[in-house]
Amino acid sequence: MANRFQYPRDLIPAVREGWDVWLPRDGDIEPLPPDEILAEMFEVAYHASFTADEQRATAFRLLCSEHSESSDSIIFQSPRGFNGHELMRLAPAVAPSELALGTTIADGRILIWGLCSYAHGKLSLSVPRPGALLVGRNGRVIASLRDGVLKQTGIEAVPFDLLIEMFSAVSEEMWRGVDWAGGSWDPTRTLYPGCFLDLLHYVSAHGHGGTLFVIPEGDVVRFAAKELLRVKYACNDTSTWELIQKYVHSFDSASTGSTSLGRDYYESAIKAQLQNTARLTRVDGALLLTDHFRLLGFGVEVIARPTSMKDVQIFGSETTSIDAYGTRHRSAFRLCEQYPEAIAFVCSQDGGVKCVRNVAGMVTLWR
């Protein structure tokens, strides 16, 4: 009988397959370490995840980088060996979504040189709970192993070109009046959808699943009047949009703040804000945002009246009965049917992400 479970070494082909896929703001992609190094890193981290220090679970993040590549490094006087005992002891000082253990490879060995928070383009390994490994770079998960189930990132279920198309009007508004002189990538098309892609990655990565509803910024009052949702924790937070606007203006060649250092600051601040927003999906219920990243609330329940809708259109394929989907998906179908301007993103516990939109009167699912 075939083995039903997969293990850390099974991550290696999945990581290699997805490693060279470029995503916004990736820049140059660093080569991966040899397979034997990856196997050691994944296996030691996996077994360390089942340990505990004073009843405190071992959860941590690793970055495969040199200390000179991180501006906020804390460097040990002597590197530490890479083993389960060291990972268990050091885990309380770091967190899967914050500070990381900086690792390097010397003479075929993995060593822990200190602590850091970020290293652009480098291999990252997060261990959020026992038996869970998330491998990626720049805050994005490429492949994960949870409870013996291997999955390549589900984010490709929402194609980046689709996000560019859906939010093109917002991107155009953001960049109006900004004199961008050009460079190696075009932020005028990709910066905004790239931020949204990051948000979906952060929601997907924490392993609990979640739903995001997005409505037009200019339609908040009319939408509220329809009483389609019940918002348990109402908000009116515009801080993410304000940071993105400042980031955009840092690209303006006429601005005194147009420096790479300024852009690095805003990029880091936006990342932290998006991670904080993603954590709200751990509360029961959906997250409600405008297309200007204004947080309207979380713990959201769809109370739209039941309809006679029986099928959903699968993009590029046939229609399927809505009975094939769970409560989260059916709630998204119902909202998008009764409010066609809404966009819903449903993140499953296995890390997959699906997009729901109303296209010409037909609720359509990208899966």
What DSSP line would sit under 158-209, residue for residue? Answer: S-HHHHHHHTHHHHHHHHTT--B---SS-HHHHHHHHHHHHHHHHHHHTSS-
Q: pLDDT tens for residues 282-320?
A: 999 999 999 999 999 999 999 998 888 999 999 888 899
- State the pLDDT confidence band at 151, using cuts at 50, 70 and 90: confident
Give me the pLDDT at residue 194, please: 87
- Position 70 pLDDT exceeds 70: no
User: Angle CA(154)–CA(206)–CA(11) in degrees, nearest 5?
Assistant: 55
Q: Regarding predicted confidence, which is higher, 111 or 349?
A: 111
Largest Cα–Cα distance of the chain, in whole Å?
68
What is the distance between the alpha carbons of residues 259 and 266, in angstroms, rounded to a whole number?
11
Least confident of 113-127, 132-146, 207-221, 252-266: 252-266
Instruction: Judge contact between 264 and 207, C-beta under 8 A.
Output: no
Domains in the chain, CATH or no CATH each: 8-152 (no CATH), 155-366 (3.40.1700.10)
Sequence-separated (6 or more) residues with CB below 8 Å from residue 175: 188, 248
- Closest to 158 in 3D by CA, of 349, 347, 362: 347
Lowest-confidence range among 3-17, 288-302, 341-355? 341-355
Instruction: Give yes or no for residue 188 having a pLDDT over 90.
Output: no
pLDDT score, position 310: 92
Cα(33)–Cα(97) distance, rounded to whole angstroms?
23
Beta bridge partners of 149: 146
Look at residues 159, 117, 112, 113 and name the one whose alpha carbon lies nearest to residue 138.
117
How far apart are alpha carbons 295 and 298 in whole angstroms?
8
pLDDT tens, 24-46?
A: 666 678 899 999 999 999 999 99
pLDDT tier at 54, thresholds 50, 70, 90? confident
Q: Could you give the CA distance from residue 329 to residue 326 in angstroms, rounded to a whole number? A: 6
Average pLDDT, the chain: 87
Q: Is the pTM of this model over 0.85?
A: no
pLDDT category of residue 255 using cuts at 50, 70 and 90: low
pLDDT for res 69: 57
